[in-house]
Amino acid sequence: MSWTGKILRVDLGAGTCTSEPLNMQWANDYMGQRGLATKYLVEETDPKVDPFSPDNKMIFATGPLTGTIAPTSGRWSVVCKGPLTGAIACSNSGGFFGAELKNAGWDMVIFEGKSASPVYLDITNDKAELKDASDLWGKSVWETETELRERRGDPDVRVASIGLAGENGVLYAAVVNDMDRAAGRSGVGAVMGSKHLKAVVVRGTVGVKVKDPMAMMKTSNAAKEILAENAVTGQGLPTHGTQVLMNVINEVGALPTRNGHDVQFDGAHDISAEAMAEVRESDGQANLVSNHACFGCPISCARRSKIDPTHFTVKDKPKYQIVSGGLEYEAAWALGAANGVNDLDALTYANFVCNEQGLDPISLGATIGAAMDLYKVGAISKEDTGGHALEFGNTEAFVAMVEATARGEGFGKEIGQGSRRLCEKYGHPEFSMTVKSQEFPAYDPRGIQGMGLTYATSNRGACHLRSYTVASEVLGIPEKTDPLVTEGKAGLVKAFQDATAAVDSSGTCVFTTFALSGEDIAPMVDAACEGDWSVERFVEVGERIWNMERQYNIAAGFTGADDTLPERMLKDAAKTGPAEGKVNGLSEMLPEYYQLRGWDDSGVPSAETLARLGL
Amino acid sequence: MGITFKLYAGLSQYLPPTAHRNAATLELQAEETVEQFIDRQKVPRAEVHLVLVNGRHLEGPERERHILKEGDTLAIWPPVAGG
């Protein structure tokens, strides 16, 4: 079976690392990664715990397919109670770290307590040890990873770490692995920092066993063939990356612009995939250098970029004149359109800084956008911002805010608290484009109605990766639906939510679902794991996980009243594009959604639903 | 006046030399449908996936019927996705 059957429990207070058997009943019911780690968190912690308390636990989790030959099997997650939201946090990352952890023989690492001084966890197969990280504290992700690699003298080690943002308690700090892949959202990096855990370094040579190797070969090859032949996963994403959406979403009038004042950005083309591929005059090169793949991924959606060396952000800074993780669509939107900034290299620089110091670019960019709104109405001034005219479209001021937040300096400390807290402090809570205190991403709910319900009901706060109905509403995958209507969206959102929870929990990438369905993924789980993993069981596990997360949030204090959107999305109509005159019709979708979920009118799962799912 | 014709991702090679940053202004023929216009621009149908007229999606059969009008914006992509 492809669960290793082993959990590493790290008591940071006592400084101990112990191996314990995986609870196989839970593995059968929650599969792995997102689902299984959340089950452990639910069982072992109080949902009302302060996210920064030593009593909050943080779990690094792989799935049963992580590290196997299944395509896109590099996924792993960080699960804890999130400090940005106070809700369940599960941040998914790619790269190579997760597969290495699995190959070292661990399904999960559970961190509990808090170390008195900075430490890092050093894993080589079944040997795990906490080591002093005092000399690493204060260093960036890039410096930490480079130093630990050199210290180990093994180029094949993998590192996940936090930068200054995680150390400083930025509420949307990320855990970054392999230099530029991140468990980005909800502030999991700040929880890591609160525990004085700087990094985890891992080398694994044990390998991953599967139940039926021949069936694993057969099902994985079948899935790879579908991914290769599918025009989106075989050509579109490898060639253009996610950034190709910039012009698409702008054209359909669903690109949240200048903190949601507009739904179309006149500078969209300047920050798009097409612009990344344009040769610039200064050095005859393009921003985009190449694509890049995570472990076992045939899609290669990631981008590698190089900033124009003469650009003001990097001209005196050689460390940024490198080829590194380039802009994805979400980052380009949040750092760009959300602020009215159309300088591609400035956004790429901001993205580099996010990777370097461990920040979620979505929440960072959206929070700077909210600050620009505050500046616009005079709620903050140059006195607050360190002399910067924080106007929409001011690239220099934007860059200054990114740097200040990364370093934890000046007004950056305020931006590091996220837009909900920032806007409340300065008297305009309505300027915060958040759900459950988490900034929403790059799809305006007025132009894509289903995404409104997606954000409102997402268990980790506003998020596109909990039910990516954009696939259906804009791209026609698996079937085209009208983005401007609310009818049918409740069922669509529920189906996407359950399927995504299952895919996440398998240890593969949700991007496979542009081509694969449960009919393709469940057989790989079945080949890898004990038990009969039918498609029906696969999806039911997803539904069970969704309801478990919901129950956690209810116990943490959330209610149906939190399943809502910022007023701007519900009252201020879109000004241009196909959605002109429209607001999001959340009230038309939410009751039906609750009903389809088997929840009562206030959004609480019924006893019958819980019993049906074995919760 | 004509229409604004936009080709993105790998399709930009089919734009006329007058195009700037993925867009060109082109004249319409009388009663020209979306599909007729695409054919006239020699964009291979197999590469035409996402078709938007003024931001609104047109399915395959609608492209045969929908007649373009002056001032429209027609934007086309090959198969793409993101997240």
Q: Considering only CB atoms, which residues of chain B are within 8 Å of chain A?
A: 6, 8-10, 12, 21-22, 49-50, 52, 54-57, 59, 73, 75, 77-83
Name chain B contacts of A474, Cβ cutoff 8 Å. 50, 57
Comparing CA positions, the residue from A81, A138, A116, A110 lying closest to residue A200 is A110
CA distance A578 to chain B (A): 6
Name chain B contacts of A94, Cβ cutoff 8 Å. none
Low-confidence ranges of chain A (pLDDT < 70): none
Q: Do both A148 and A50 map to the same domain?
A: yes
CATH code, domain carrying A348: 1.10.569.10
Q: Do both A423 and A463 map to the same domain?
A: no
Q: Do both A606 and A563 map to the same domain?
A: yes
Give domain B3-77's CATH number out of 3.10.20.30, 3.40.50.720, 2.60.40.420, 3.60.21.10.
Answer: 3.10.20.30
Residue of B nearest to A332 (CA): B83
Tokens of A253: 């009038």
Sort strands B50-53 and B73-77 into parallel, antiparallel or unpaired.
Answer: antiparallel
Q: What is residue A435's predicted lDDT score, i.e. its pLDDT?
A: 98
Q: Do both A293 and A376 map to the same domain?
A: yes
CA distance B53 to chain A (A): 9
Q: How many domains does chain A have?
A: 3
Comparing CA positions, the residue from A173, A491, A576, A194 lying closest to residue A363 is A173
Sort strands A58-62 and A181-183 into parallel, antiparallel or unpaired.
Answer: unpaired
Q: Residue A58 forms beta bridges with which residues?
A: A111
Q: Do both A374 and A506 map to the same domain?
A: no
Tokens of A612: 């049906």
CATH code, domain carrying A77: 3.60.9.10
Q: What is residue A127's predicted lDDT score, i.e. its pLDDT?
A: 98
- Residue bearing tokens 């596990």: A541
Kindly tell me the burial class for residue A607, based on how many C-beta atoms sit within 10 Å of its own C-beta (0-12, 13-18, 19 or more): exposed
B49-76: pLDDT as tens digits: 999 999 999 998 999 999 999 999 999 9
3-state secondary structure of A445: coil
CA distance A196 to chain B (A): 32
Task: Write the Ramachandran bin of B49: left for phi over 0, alpha for psi from -120 to 50, otherwise beta.
Answer: alpha
Q: Which of A419, A438, A457 is the last residue of a domain?
A: A438
Name chain B contacts of A232, Cβ cutoff 8 Å. 79-81
In a domain, A419, yes or no: yes
Q: ipTM score of the complex?
A: 0.97
In a domain, A523, yes or no: no
- Residue bearing tokens 């360190």: A386
Comparing CA positions, the residue from A225, A410, A461, A431 lying closest to residue A338 is A431
For residue A20, CA distances in Å to A55, A66, A311 come to 20, 20, 52
Q: What is residue A6's predicted lDDT score, i.e. its pLDDT?
A: 98
For residue A264, CA distances in Å to A254, B12, B65 come to 7, 22, 28
Comparing CA positions, the residue from A537, A531, A524 lying closest to residue A214 is A524
Of A245, A251, A475, the CB nearest to B75: A251
Q: Residue A61 forms beta bridges with which residues?
A: A77, A108
Q: Residue B3 forms beta bridges with which residues?
A: B26
Q: Do both A257 and A339 map to the same domain?
A: yes
Tokens of A137: 């504290």
Q: What is residue A44's predicted lDDT score, i.e. its pLDDT?
A: 98
Return the domain boundaries, chain B.
3-77
User: Cα B65 to the chain's mean position, in Å?
Assistant: 14
CA distance B18 to chain A (A): 17
Of A274, A329, A470, the CB nearest to B22: A274
Residue A94 lies in domain: 6-203
Strands (DSSP E) contained in A275-370 are 288-292, 302-306, 323-325
In a domain, A13, yes or no: yes
Q: Do both A427 and A573 map to the same domain?
A: no
Tokens of B27: 């004249």
Q: Do both A361 and A248 map to the same domain?
A: yes
Sheet hosting strand A58-62, strand order edge to edge: A16-21, A6-11, A108-112, A58-62, A76-81, A88-93
Which helix (H) or strand (E) element contains residue A79?
strand A76-81
- Residue bearing tokens 């949700």: A510
Q: How far apart are CA A422 and CA A415, in angstroms?
A: 7
Tokens of A481: 């639906």
In a domain, A377, yes or no: yes
Q: Which of A383, A406, A438 is the last residue of a domain?
A: A438
Of B10, B12, B79, the CB nearest to A232: B79
> Does the distance separating the beta carbons of A235 and B78 come in below 8 Å?
yes
Q: What is residue B83's predicted lDDT score, i.e. its pLDDT?
A: 80
Of B56, B73, B83, the CB nearest to A465: B83
> Does the distance separating the beta carbons of A251 and B55 come in below 8 Å?
yes
Q: Do both A539 and A419 map to the same domain?
A: no
Strands (DSSP E) contained in A380-454 are 434-435, 438-439
Sign for the pseudo-dihedral over CA of B13, B16, B18, B21:
negative
> Does the distance separating the beta carbons of A475 and B80 come in below 8 Å?
yes
> Does the distance separating the beta carbons of A240 and B10 come in below 8 Å?
yes
Q: Do both A81 and A17 map to the same domain?
A: yes
Q: How far apart are CA A259 and CA A269, in angstroms?
A: 18
In a domain, A351, yes or no: yes
> Does the distance separating the beta carbons of B54 and A578 come in below 8 Å?
yes
CA distance B5 to chain A (A): 12
At B15, which amino acid appears? L
Report whether A159 contacts A177 (CB < 8 A): yes
Q: Do both A145 and A247 map to the same domain?
A: no
pLDDT for B1 beyond 80: no
Which helix (H) or strand (E) element contains residue A608?
helix A607-612
Q: Do both A181 and A261 map to the same domain?
A: no
In a domain, A196, yes or no: yes
| A to B CB pairs, distance under 8 Å | 92
Q: Residue A62 forms beta bridges with which residues?
A: A76
Which value, to the nearest 10 degrees, does the dihedral of the CA atoms of residues B41, B42, B46, B49 take? Answer: -10
Q: How far apart are the first and last CA of chain A?
A: 25
In a domain, A220, yes or no: no
DSSP type of residue A465: T
Q: What is residue B48's predicted lDDT score, i.e. its pLDDT?
A: 95
In a domain, A480, yes or no: yes
A83-102: pLDDT as tens digits: 999 999 999 999 999 999 99
Of B10, B21, B78, the CB nearest to A269: B21
A56-90: pLDDT as tens digits: 999 999 999 999 999 999 999 999 999 999 999 99
Of A248, A328, A510, the CB nearest to B80: A248
Comparing CA positions, the residue from A241, A416, A213 lying closest to residue A325 is A241
Q: What is residue A240's predicted lDDT score, i.e. its pLDDT?
A: 94
